[in-house]
Structure 1
Amino acid sequence: MKKTVFIGLAIGLLATAGTAGAQTDPLQVRSWAAACANCHGTNGSAQPGNEPLAGASKDEMLKKLRDFRSSAKPATIMHQLSKGYTDEQLEAIAGWFAAQKK
């Protein structure tokens, strides 16, 4: 019985592990967003010369990220980085930055 419950839980966790929907762990989203700190600053508060992300519009950020990924928006590195995330992950990252204080 315990083995069956464990297997069921494991399958359930694996089924949701790759999504960024409502069940996504906020710490996971913060980890994804941390990859942006080199250029956009800690918590999206960029140094002069880089685009700040903190408090920006989630919808505008998400559009830019999708445009980078499709190469509709020219970039030096963002077109490569954005291809490493799913739509759901990009949406979660944009939402995280939008929620940060400017």
Structure 2
Amino acid sequence: MRRLLPAAVLVLLSAGAAAAPPGAEACSGCHPATRAEGAPPPLAGQPADDIAAAMQDFRTGQRPATVMDRIAKGFTDEEIRAIAVWVARAQ
């Protein structure tokens, strides 16, 4: 199964409007489409590598968080990458 996830990322990249990977759609609950005072930053349009790196840092505790550390711990490396790719492409 874990070997299939990198292939799934490639499918997401080529599909354009592909379905969101598990967990990705929940991001918009806290990360609005446009910058709002006091809200976490928007993710759409950010580089997928930056989003994935931030999630990895939250997961390991290298980046301070109120909630993201607990959220990021629920995903594998492959899931984090798939979410980052999808969220970065969301408009």
- Structure-2-length-normalised TM-score: 0.76
**Letter of the structure 1 residue corresponding to residue 7 of structure 2:** A
Q: RMSD over aligned Cα, in angstroms?
A: 2.3
Gaps of 5+ in 1: 1-15
1:52-83: CA deviation from partner (whole Å, max 9, x where unpaired): 00010111111100000000000000000000
Q: 2:85 aligns with which of 67, 74, 95?
A: 95
Deviation by residue 1:32-64 (Cα, 9 ceiling, x = unmatched): 2112121013xxx14503210001011111110
Task: Name stretches of at least 5 consecutive residues in structure 2 with no aligned partner.
Answer: 13-17
Alpha carbons 2:2, 2:78 under 8 Å: kept: no
Larger Rg: 1
For the pair 1:32 / 2:17, whether they are aligned, the reply is no
Higher relative contact order (CA 8 A, sep 6+): 2
Moved segments of 4+, more than 6 Å? none
> Residue in 2 aligned with 1:22?
7
